[in-house]
Amino acid sequence: MRIPWLTSAVTLLLAVVSAHAAVITSQPFSIGIGYVATNTWNSSEIASSGSTVVAGQNTSTTIGNFSFSPSVVSSLNSGGGPGFANRTLQAGTFSGNGAGFVFTVNAAWTGPTPANAAVVPNYQIAINITSLGLYVLPFTASTNTAASGYPFGFAETTPSHNTATSPTLSTGPSGTSVGASPSSYSHLVWTPPTYDVAGTSFSRSFGLASPHVGDLQIDGAEIDGFVTITYDQIPEPAAPMLILSSGAALILRRSKARV
């Protein structure tokens, strides 16, 4: 015979056991990347601060059991442009072009299985980006005088997650000379939404959205964030025991009521 209240108690017990989750959070990462040569973005202009966030420097891309590795690609804009030493725009050479711009961050958790993990941990990873930045200068030439003042912004291009876009910038200076001075660049900054995906590694990617993306001169890409891993864990013994003891007490009361 099916006993409704006993079925409910068992269902509640299973829910407690299956829904108990734990989270492991990485230390913060902070990395800048400059356009240093034809079709080349890297961090050669920036010192490393190891596992500690220090203004003007880059953290390591691996801290503990977590990795957080950004990369940037774009076409060449010009041999003229700013430098990005100490993550500050300054006099230098080379600037990238908005055409073909892709900002990617790969993240992973490589730690051992937690001692309290369930038999099937159901790992979920999230790349939490607290700040995504890029220095941008619209190029206004006689062939495209309408370029001044048009909007530009970030757009997430991660497959199945490519609907989020940043607020756009549509004001600020524009350059009539290729490369132009560092002070002419506008700083585009965005905190994209966070989401979890199944697994222990993931990659997110971003591009530029603009009606004249090929007229954007760019340099100085930056990303700050951290990684989280969520997994199902074995619940504390007290939780299921509490349900069982409550169920036992209910059985006793109902038995007495029928005597």
**What would the pLDDT profile of 176-208 be if each residue is shown by its tens digit?**
555 567 888 889 999 999 999 999 999 999 999
Please check whether residue 46 lies inside any domain of the structure: yes
Please check whether residue 173 lies inside any domain of the structure: yes
Q: Which helix or strand (DSSP H or E) is residue 242 part of?
A: helix 238-258
- What average pLDDT is seen over the chain? 84
**Residue among 217, 192, 216 nearest 205 (CA):** 192
40-42 and 48-50 as β-strands: parallel, antiparallel, unpaired? Answer: unpaired
Please check whether residue 3 lies inside any domain of the structure: no
Give the pLDDT of residue 201.
Answer: 98
Banded model confidence at residue 142, pLDDT cuts 50, 70, 90 = very low
- Domains of the chain: total: 1
Please check whether residue 197 lies inside any domain of the structure: yes
Please check whether residue 80 lies inside any domain of the structure: yes
Please check whether residue 131 lies inside any domain of the structure: yes
pTM: 0.82
Q: Residue 198 belongs to what domain range? A: 20-245
CB neighbours of 72 closer than 8 A, spacing ≥ 6? 33, 35, 41, 96, 101, 102, 103, 104, 221
Banded model confidence at residue 141, pLDDT cuts 50, 70, 90 = low
Of 149 and 206, more confident:
206
168-176 contacts: CB < 8 A, separation 24 or more? 168/209, 168/210, 169/136, 173/137, 174/137, 174/138, 174/139, 174/140, 174/147, 174/148, 174/149, 175/137, 175/138, 175/139, 175/140, 175/217, 176/139, 176/140, 176/141
Please check whether residue 121 lies inside any domain of the structure: yes
Please check whether residue 88 lies inside any domain of the structure: yes
For the cut 70, the answer to whether the pLDDT of residue 259 exceeds it is: no
CB burial of 111-141 (b: ≥16 within 10 Å; e: otherwise) equals eeeeeebbeebebbbbbbbeebbbbbbbbbe
Burial of 208 (0-12, 13-18, 19+ CB in 10 A): buried
Give the pLDDT of residue 53.
Answer: 97
SS (H, E, C) 157-223: CCCCCCCCECCCECCCCCECCCCCCHHHCEEEEECCCCCCEECCEEEEEEEEECCCHHHEEEEEEEE
